[in-house]
Amino acid sequence: MDGELLYDGVYRFADYGPMGQVYVYLIIGRDRALLIDSGYGGKRWDKLVAKYTDKPVTVLITHAHIDHALGARFFQDAYVHEADEKVWYESNDKAFLARVLSTFSMPDCAESEREFLLSPETVVQADRPLPRFFLGRTEFDVGDRKISLVHTPGHSQGCCCFIDEKKGVCFTGDTLSKYVWLQLRESTTLAVFEDSLRLLKTAFEKHGVTTIYPAHGEKMPAIETIEKYFDLIGQIRKGTTFQKPLHHPLVPGIRHVGDGVSLILNDPPRW
């Protein structure tokens, strides 16, 4: 659970829950700190973060799914995109949470980490106020650097990516990684996702972004990854992709496999 120093004041933490492993990123600036996502909510992130910084912390949620949003309640200042308001309420539904958490047990962890853990009952019963909305806000200044926000609807309507302009790095949540789920009820059409990728590519070029850090999986090259998705979408349009069913109990779909990247879509794809 201890944070791994990625570069200049930026740490990465792994969290675990029913949807598997997810990464949470902490950016410590000169005046303030930002927590990108907040995990499943089964951990006292406020106490954990306090081991790394005493600066005021703002939580920026990439989107409102349970593996990203539920730990925000430990901080006074948290934001989510307004287009994910409905997903936020669905993620916080107590009956839904009780059901998904009943099948999960935390992997073994060190004694030093256990002090931060909460019981599943605590997570289910916790009251989580709706975070603030971004409402057109495009950057967060932490003193020695600016983190800019790009709204990238696709995986969900309210997905956002956050760019560390000084370091040419982007935290992409579930918008961009080795695989992208677009088969969900709250996902957009492929055409909207493609528009988001275009917007992101323009932002990457403007800010010299070379590396992305997704919420699931390791870092990847920025522009090259976007180009691979453009290629894959082109193949989907032509109907020439290699396809494999994704047998997921809650959100099944069809996996379209590209060059080291995959898109999970409905059958047939929604344009």
Residue ranges that bind Zn ion, judged by CB under 5 A: 65, 174
Which residue lies nearer to Zn ion by CB, 29 or 88?
A: 88
Using CA atoms, how far apart are residues 6 and 99, in angstroms rounded to an integer? Answer: 35
Rank residues 43 and 65 by Cβ distance to Zn ion and give the closer one: 65
Q: Choose between 164 and 174: whose C-beta lies nearer to Zn ion.
A: 174
Distance CA 44, CA 97 (A): 18
- Minimal distance in Å, beta carbon 27 to Zn ion? 21
Q: How far is residue 23's CA from residue 162's CA, in Å, rounded to a whole number?
A: 14
Q: Give the nearest distance from C-beta 181 to Zn ion in angstroms.
A: 7
84 vs 194, which CB is nearer to Zn ion? 84
Residue 54 has a CB neighbour count (10 Å cut-off) of 10
Q: Which residue is nearest to Zn ion (CB)?
A: 65
H helices present in the chain, as ranges? 45-50, 66-69, 85-91, 94-101, 111-114, 120-125, 190-207, 222-238
**Which tokens in the block code for residue 233?**
């979408």
